[in-house]
Amino acid sequence: MADLDNSGREAEEYDEINSIRATEPECETGERAATVPRGLRSSIHDQRKKLVLHVDLNSTILVSDAVTGEGAVATLDYYLTTVTWGKMDRHGKWEWLSDSPSLLPPCKDAVSYHSQFGRIHGFTTGVGGRFRKFLDEHLQLLRWPEGIKANKELSLKGEDGRLYHWILPSFFQLLKDLVQEGREFAIVFRTFGNDLPRVLKAVHRALNEGAHPLFPDLPDLKLSVNTAPGKIRCSAKGITVKRTEDHLTSRGGERSLYQFFSSMQGLGGFKDDYEWWSVNSFSILGGKPMWVDPFDQQVQHIFIDDNIRQNDEDTVVHPKVFLDPEGSEARTACTSELYDIALVQNDLLQAIADPKYFTQRVHICLENYERNLQQGTG
């Protein structure tokens, strides 16, 4: 992608991962970005361009985690440790550098509380007490509508006994907005966790039976849901994608995987390879793979995940940019190169507070992607 600089903008193969790490070269800067040929253009106003949105689950559209057993209160409390900042002073004592949560550090030497101390419980009732008001405020916003009966698939009882939305309303609002805009799109859920089958079932009910009390008209959108969860497995030998009758591998080139995801319709999902990410020290090279083709005027891919970070040693998506039209060779792109272009670091607090949050982030990516293509043709 032409100069992807984004300054100023907001079992089979699987078994091998236990002994072999990724051998791809380190991520580079935008200097080797794929050249976009003169005359190649897209338009954010061209509704014919298809969007493929890869959407994480936990702490992105869900405020809970089946793996850890945490509900809304504990999940949101933990999330706050990842977006509050400080540093160790010269006496070895933690010093706060922020009074409010933010995705990005307030200064160069700031680190998140989670980065410094790891996962802790009861953050806002202890050392993070200054941030308790943010927890309480967003839990209130997350409450299931008063007087509406609990829904076993769409609501969740929190640790405090209160009912909360299980899937954020802003996600369903995104679906409505994209349909209203006349866009062709697909949603691909991408998760390391165990919530995918339940999410697919819940979304299917909401979209086909009008089961959501805030969005009873969702069946009017006419969106299909593939309720069969797929799997993505990675190893030093390549990437394998499986879902029911589909079975693809990157060993003959990665273009076929890009075409597979680009051809998706409706909503579906895949469980990504957490072990591969772990083996690769939770770096970009072990992350969830996503392919970007800057030469493709028909399809644009965007990945939304709370663990996307502009530190390639600690980020969750492995973006691969094709070097040539219809070619199979792709390079690893730095997160910063595609930040707010094809990669969205989810702000869970905003996703709870703002019904239009996801729609706005998608629009920002569309605008920034368009700008980069135009720069490449100049």
List Cβ neighbours of 129 (8 Å cut-off, separation of 6 or more): none
CA gap 195, 176 in Å, rounded: 23
In this predicted structure, what is the pLDDT of residue 22? 58
Structure confidence at residue 372 (pLDDT): 83
Strands 266-271 and 230-235 come out as parallel
What is the reported pLDDT for 228? 98
How, if at all, do strands 50-55 and 317-322 pair? unpaired
d(CA 197, CA 199) in angstroms, rounded, equals 5
At residue 370, the pLDDT reads 87
- Under 8 Å CB-to-CB from 220, ≥6 apart: which residues? none
| 61 contacts 168 by C-beta, under 8 angstroms | yes
Phi and psi at residue 8, in whole multiples of 5°?
A: 85, 0
pLDDT, residue 21, reads 54
Residue 377 in tokens: 């043709």
Q: Which residue has the tokens 């941030």?
A: 131
**How far is it, in rounded angstroms, from Cα 118 to Cα 151?**
34
Residues of the chain with pLDDT under 50: 1-20, 25, 27-45
CA distance 113 to 117: 6
